[in-house]
Amino acid sequence: MTKAKLGSLGLSLLVLVLLVIWMATGDVKIASNQAPDEPRPQDRELTRVEVETLQATNYQPTIKLQGQLEPWQVVTVSARTAGIVDQMKVQLGQQVRAGQELLTLSVDGRDAVVERWRARIRKLEADLAAARQLRARNLAAETEILGLQSELAAARAESAAAELAVQHLAPAAPFDAVVNRREVDQGTLVQVGTPLLELVQIDRLKAIGRVPQQTVKGVQPGQAVEVNLLDGTRLAGVISFVASAADPETRSFAVEIVVENPDQKRAAGGSANLNIQLPEQDAIFISPAYLSLDDDGRPGVKYVDDNDQVVFQNVMLLSVSTNGAWVSGLPDEIRLITRGGGFVAEGETVEPVDRSDQRG
């Protein structure tokens, strides 16, 4: 046997001896098809989350709408008898009182017609009185008395119509108002129904808006409304009407608001922001960044309860802005998760760290 073969045989024997010694003294690692046991809860490190303690406060929610302002009353005064405008007694923009004459139409002999019928009435009344005296002495027939009574009634009706025609020669304001438009001038010939003047009442206004169907349940007549004009002026209003059925196209409910305008600001016909003040309730103010959605798409927040467990609670959004959101539906005091909420699940026990301590 050559020297090289003896060297290879010796090396193989040495490796065999070392393998036997390792198997006799070392741990044999056997593969297993079973997963190792999970560590016990008390041995697992809790996830740390940052929390901020928040308390509910008294909050008055509002519903913000875009509205249209209208005069409280608008009327077009029209001619009720034909004639020529004899005199204009008011000017555009003038404030008028209820019952004040606005203009006069030409008489055209209508006063003489009234006098003629009055004279006719006096004549018939005298004839009827004489006939009754004769009837008492059986010198007049009953039919004669009935005829005179019929003529007298007809004369009185004609006289009333003639007097009314004279009254219509001087149309008056039906309520306190402002002359907003004038359709005729002195000398204009008008017929029955011809528009003369438009009057508007603006010391009180009417705001019209539409409430979405999601929030209409909180709107009731009598609720206060803050009306903000585009120039920054604020007026006070009260809801007077809420529609019982929604508009089929917009699915919103019409609402009318009585708006007091004692300074008679020129706001009728313009738009305004309507803030309907709902009943006060307890709510918490949070950043919109802490809101999340459940599987049904409803908003909610995560907080830590007294047992340091994560709770997800749905909330109702009362008001949302860039500064924050007022929400209801939470306990009076919570430890809101402000950091780490995306890494923990509902019901999980966590290690809460107060946000104020973190800042310090």
What tens digit of pLDDT does each residue of 201-240 get? 999 999 999 999 988 888 999 999 999 998 889 999 999 9
* Residue-averaged pLDDT of the chain: 86
| Cβ atoms of 303 and 286 closer than 8 Å | no
* Token representation of residue 69: 């302002």
Q: How confident is the model at residue 30 (pLDDT cuts 50, 70, 90)?
A: very low
Task: Quick: pLDDT tens for 308-338.
Answer: 999 999 998 888 888 888 999 999 999 999 9
CA angle (146 as vertex; 142, 148 as ends), nearest 5: 115
pTM for the full predicted model: 0.65
CA distances from 120 to 3, 115, 124, 142, 143 (A): 169, 9, 6, 22, 20
CA-closest candidate to residue 199, choices 79, 69, 90, 80: 90
Determine the average pLDDT of the residues in 146-172: 91
Nearest Cα neighbor of 336 from 354, 317, 315 is 354
Hey, is 214 helix, strand or coil? coil
Angstrom distances, CA of residue 73 to CA of 175, 177, 258: 9, 8, 12
- Identify any residues that bridge with 66 across adjacent strands, giving them in sequence order: 273
pLDDT of residue 143: 87
CATH architecture group of domain 47-59+281-359: Beta Barrel (2.40)
Domain ranges of the chain: 47-59+281-359, 63-71+203-277, 107-168
Given this model, what pLDDT does residue 144 score? 87
Quick check: 41 pLDDT over 60? no
- Poorest-pLDDT segment among 4-8, 125-129, 261-265: 4-8
Answer whether 246's CB lies under 8 Å from 293's CB.
Answer: no
Alpha carbon separation from 243 to 168, 186, 246 (Å, rounded): 39, 45, 7
pLDDT of residue 204: 94
Q: Are 288 and 320 a contacting pair, CB within 8 Å?
A: yes
Provide the β-strand partners of residue 159.
none
Collapsed DSSP state (helix, strand, coil) of residue 5: helix
Portion of the chain with pLDDT greater than 90, in percent: 51
Q: Which residue has the higher pLDDT, 197 or 148?
A: 197
- Of 234, 269, 271, 239, the C-alpha closest to 255 is 239
- 90 Cβ contact partners less than 8 Å away, ≥ 6 residues apart: 96, 100, 102, 103, 179, 197
Q: In what order do the strands lie in the sheet with 103-105?
A: 103-105, 83-88, 189-190
Q: Indicate the range of 18-22, 80-84, 346-350 predicted with least confidence.
A: 18-22
Residues near 128 by beta carbon (within 8 Å), at least 6 away in sequence: 145, 148, 149, 152
Whether 307 shows a pLDDT value over 60: the answer reads: yes
Position of tokens 């500064």?
323
Identify the H or E element spanning 333: strand 333-339
* CATH architecture group of domain 63-71+203-277: Beta Barrel (2.40)
- Angle subtended at Cα 136 by Cα 132 and Cα 138, rounded to the nearest 5 degrees: 110
In 3D space, the residue among 76, 98, 89, 108 whose CA is nearest the CA of residue 170 turns out to be 89
Q: What's the confidence (pLDDT) of residue 31?
A: 47
Q: What are phi and psi of 121, to 5 degrees?
A: -65, -45
Cα(273)–Cα(254) distance, integer angstroms: 15
User: Can you tell me the distance from the alpha carbon of 95 to that of 76, in angstroms, rounded to the nearest whole number?
Assistant: 15
Question: In terms of Cα–Cα distance, which of 266, 265, 245 is closest to 255?
Answer: 245
Rounded distance between C-alpha atoms, residue 60 and residue 297, angstroms: 26
